[in-house]
């Protein structure tokens, strides 16, 4: 990595001891300002590793976006199929209920008595036997 040139050069000779009662003026770090003519002189070039990393992250992000959209479509189709099956179940249950009601009406005692009278049959309770297994 490139250095900011903020480090100061260290002298090879040992510095003489300074007197404690004299204060040294402190230098304040001033921000570096790029020359007006060349503003891109402080920009660092993107390395090959960084380019590969950005490309890989972009590809992963694109794949994840496609997966999210695909799963959303799949979920919507599954909900549609579920709703269709529930509608068919309700229709079949209604049909079964209507058929059971019709069976009960056809088996009613009053209807059977009417049919028997039309055919000239009579019902004698003395001759009726209940058989249980």
What value does the mean pLDDT take over residues 29-53?
73
Distance CA 32, CA 72 (A): 51
Q: Is residue 131 part of a domain?
A: no
What value does the mean pLDDT take over residues 8-12?
62
Overall domain count for the chain = 1
What value does the mean pLDDT take over residues 122-128?
78
Q: Which helix (H) or strand (E) holds 109?
A: helix 109-118
Q: Is residue 114 part of a domain?
A: yes
Q: Is residue 79 part of a domain?
A: yes
Q: Tell me if 2 sits within 8 A of 44, measured CB to CB.
A: yes
Q: Is residue 110 part of a domain?
A: yes
pLDDT above 90 as % of the chain: 46
Distance CA 69, CA 56 (A): 20
Q: Tell me if 4 sits within 8 A of 32, measured CB to CB.
A: yes
Q: Which helix (H) or strand (E) holds 92?
A: helix 48-106
Range of the domain at 72: 54-120
pLDDT at 109 over 80: yes
pLDDT for 124? 77
pLDDT digits (tens, 9 = 90+) for 48-77: 999 999 999 999 999 999 999 999 999 999
Q: Is residue 92 part of a domain?
A: yes
Q: Is residue 6 part of a domain?
A: no
Q: Is residue 116 part of a domain?
A: yes
Q: Is residue 67 part of a domain?
A: yes
pLDDT at 18 over 70: no
- The b-or-e profile of 96-122 (16+ CB within 10 A means b, else e) is eeeeeeeeeeeeeeeeeeeeeeeeeee
Tokens of 109: 């005692």
Q: Tell me if 29 sits within 8 A of 8, measured CB to CB.
A: no
What value does the mean pLDDT take over residues 107-122?
87
What value does the mean pLDDT take over residues 28-57?
76
């Amino acid at each position: 990595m490139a250095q900011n040139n903020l480090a100061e050069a260290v002298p090879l000779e040992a510095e003489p001891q300074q007197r404690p009662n004299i204060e040294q003026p402190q230098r304040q770090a001033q921000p570096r300002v790029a020359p007006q003519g060349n503003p891109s002189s402080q920009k660092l070039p993107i390395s090959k590793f960084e380019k590969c990393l950005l490309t890989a992250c972009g590809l992963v992000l694109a794949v994840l976006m496609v997966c999210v959209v695909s799963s959303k479509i799949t979920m919507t189709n599954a909900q549609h199929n579920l709703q269709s099956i529930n509608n068919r179940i309700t229709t079949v249950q209604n049909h079964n209920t209507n058929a059971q009601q019709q069976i009960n009406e056809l088996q009613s005692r009053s209807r059977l008595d009417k049919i028997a009278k039309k055919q000239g049959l009579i019902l004698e309770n003395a001759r009726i036997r209940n058989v249980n297994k």
